[in-house]
């Protein structure tokens, strides 16, 4: 899927003199907004953002004193407000990805539900709560606390520019065994990966995000079945082992 599928619906404005706040406002169509309550969606997205905040508490992206609040002031509006003592652009990039993922149901989701209900299409249609980004999302506005400003170049990619993707059945990080995340941190990393936090908008993943496995082997850290933006994995490893530089070349 091309980036333009998303970027065509996104407007942005940043006052670079106000680096400690950002607001993401997503607007749904009236027809979509009338279909169901927004409470569950807001609660789910808040839980995802809480996992991101928990990683910043461990040093992810160098952000400090981060708070992310998800609200729905009306049936067709979702507002994500990010504040921080130090708010790096990359954190806004990831929060935007998570916001869009929560409003972009995978195309095969309905068929999976239909199969789970033994082909009962009527029941599946009644139960399905998926959102079609193309038809259901009208607009996404990303800005900080300023009424006017300029676009932020780093909005779509970590580091501000398109970088390499890492697709591997297995990658070995020599000497990084002590960077193995604890159970709670690993769960947060995987839950965010599943929500495409670590993939550019529109990127196709060869391996299912969130299904990768981290484990230590001797002095090495092994990650199996991973698809991730190299800049994202580098940031995760920097959180776990800030004094080390990973060699990402040992891939299968």
- pLDDT greater than 50 at residue 126: yes
Which pLDDT score, from 0 to 100, does residue 33 have?
78
| CA 227 to each of CA 76, 163, 193, 222, 252: distance values in angstroms, whole numbers, following the listed order | 33, 13, 9, 14, 13
> What is 133-202 written as a DSSP string?
HHHHEEEEEEE-S-SS-B--TTSSSGGGS---EEEEEEEEETT-GGGPPPHHHHHHHHHHHHTTTTS-TT
Residue pair 28/103 in contact (Cβ under 8 Å)? The answer is yes
**What pTM was estimated for this model as a whole?**
0.90
Where would I find the beta strands (DSSP E) of the chain?
A: 10-13, 21-28, 67-74, 77-83, 137-143, 165-173, 213-217, 220-229
223-239 per-position pLDDT tens digit: 999 999 999 999 999 99
Does pLDDT of 251 surpass 80? yes
Mean pLDDT taken over the chain:
88
List the domain boundaries for the chain.
Answer: 4-158, 163-240
């Amino acid at each position: 899927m091309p980036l333009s599928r998303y970027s065509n619906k996104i407007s942005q404005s940043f006052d670079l003199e106000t680096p400690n706040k950002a607001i993401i406002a997503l607007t749904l169509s009236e027809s979509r907004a009338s279909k169901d309550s927004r409470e569950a969606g807001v609660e789910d997205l808040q839980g995802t953002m809480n996992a991101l905040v928990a990683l910043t508490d461990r040093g992810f992206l160098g952000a400090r004193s981060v708070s992310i609040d998800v609200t729905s002031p009306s049936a067709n509006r979702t507002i994500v407000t990010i504040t921080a003592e130090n708010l790096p652009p990359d954190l806004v990039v990831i929060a935007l990805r998570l916001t869009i993922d929560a409003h972009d149901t995978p195309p095969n989701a309905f068929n999976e539900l239909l199969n789970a209900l033994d082909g009962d299409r009527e029941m599946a249609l009644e139960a399905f709560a998926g959102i079609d980004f193309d038809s259901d999302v009208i607009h996404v506005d990303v800005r900080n606390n300023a009424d006017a400003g300029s676009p932020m170049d780093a909005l779509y990619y970590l580091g501000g520019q398109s970088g390499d993707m890492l697709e591997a059945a297995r990658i070995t990080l020599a000497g990084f065994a002590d960077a193995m995340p604890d159970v709670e941190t690993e769960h947060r990393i995987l839950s965010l990966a599943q929500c495409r936090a670590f993939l550019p908008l529109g990127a196709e993943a060869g391996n299912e995000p969130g299904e990768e496995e981290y484990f230590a082997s001797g002095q090495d850290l092994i990650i199996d079945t991973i698809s991730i933006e190299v800049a994202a994995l580098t940031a995760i490893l920097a959180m776990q082992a800030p004094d080390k530089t990973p060699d990402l070349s040992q891939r299968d």
